[in-house]
Amino acid sequence: MTQINRQILLASRPQGPVTPDNFKLVETPLAPLADGEVRVRNHYLSLDPYMRGRMNDSKSYAVPQPLDEVMIGGTVGEIVESKHPKFAVGEKVVGMFGWQEYGTSNGKGLNKVDDTHVPLSAYLGAVGMTGVTAWYGLNRIIAPKAGETVVVSAASGAVGSVVGQLAKLAGCRAIGIAGGADKCRYVVDSLGFDACVDYKAGNLYQDLKAATPDGVDGYFDNVGGDVLDVTLARMNAFGRIALCGMIAGYDGEPLPMKRPALLLTQRLLVQGFIVSEHMEVWPEALGQLGTLVAQKKLHYRETIADGLENAPEAFMGLLKGKNFGKQLVKLV
């Protein structure tokens, strides 16, 4: 009996906010494996803000997501069939199989992982692309020094939560910005940040000023928009800003910067980055992150949707900030 693979395709490009109609769930027969191929049953699918940009047919750092093809996305799962000499049935692997239950590969881009001490789902979060993103932006761009103040937007999210914890381990004062009292409590009480500002409280500048009496030396930005503008006004001379995401403008036109002169007067370093362009740091970063998670010195939280069919709704929720920590879809 032929096995069936369920997949979610990009059916149309969003005109404004993403809607369920932009996706299509299909069932496709699995072809027999060819020599040198391996088949993976995906256990978890990673949902990430960058996917929203890929849905547009516009110039960016990567080609747009093609229509009527499986949505891009990171996955972690178990090998269930192999005709590849380097991969055995039962081994766990991380790949980029996208929004589908099974993936077939010639082995390129697959990385084996060990879930003995690190949960399988963490390889899509704190010990995966998410964690390396945080590690790179903090260590290679902000380059924190002990005693400095580092601010992180979307601090309760998958990337931001790691940034702040790593900043604390580096001896810095970590200040988060998050949406809602519950998220801010989590950032301080569970993640160990020194303070967290609730941008939804309507007093962002004054609250951030109170939390950063000595100004801001490093800012890791996941949001853009007003949060970026307000934090710019608190930057110290020669501060460093790592631009990771602009989620405030993903479902519409991004807001123009209100205080561009501060980049000059404060002599700021502002660097955008795409973590997949810095593969040379991944082994070092993953080694450190894996050790910290295994030793329970790096904490993370996950929001898990159950079933492939619920991926679109979970993704739309992610873009509206409804998730808490890393957004995943459980496929098994």
Would you say residue 247 lies in a domain?
yes
Residue 250 pLDDT exceeds 90: no
Would you say residue 155 lies in a domain?
yes
Would you say residue 286 lies in a domain?
no
Q: What are the pLDDT digits (tens) for 40-97?
A: 999 999 999 899 989 998 777 778 999 999 999 999 999 999 999 999 999 999 999 9
Nearest to 213 by CA among 243, 239, 178, 175: 175
Q: Are 79 and 143 within one domain?
A: no
Residue 246 pLDDT exceeds 90: no
Rounded average pLDDT over 195-206: 96
| Number of Cβ atoms within 10 Å of the Cβ of 205 | 14
Q: Are 198 and 307 within one domain?
A: no
**Contact present, 234 and 215 (Cβ < 8 Å):** yes
Nearest to 272 by CA among 241, 250, 249: 241
Residue 2 pLDDT exceeds 90: no
Would you say residue 323 lies in a domain?
yes
Q: Are 109 and 208 within one domain?
A: no
Q: Structural domain tally of the chain?
A: 2
CATH of the domain at 257: 3.40.50.720
Ranges of H-type helices in the chain: 50-54, 129-136, 158-169, 181-189, 204-211, 225-232, 261-265, 282-294, 311-319
Would you say residue 287 lies in a domain?
no
pLDDT-derived band at 327 (thresholds 50, 70, 90) equals: very high
How many angstroms separate the Cα of 154 from the Cα of each of 65, 122, 294?
A: 25, 19, 24
Would you say residue 173 lies in a domain?
yes
How far is 159 from 164, CA to CA, in rounded Å? 9
Range of the domain at 28: 4-125+300-330
Q: Are 198 and 137 within one domain?
A: yes
Q: Are 36 and 157 within one domain?
A: no
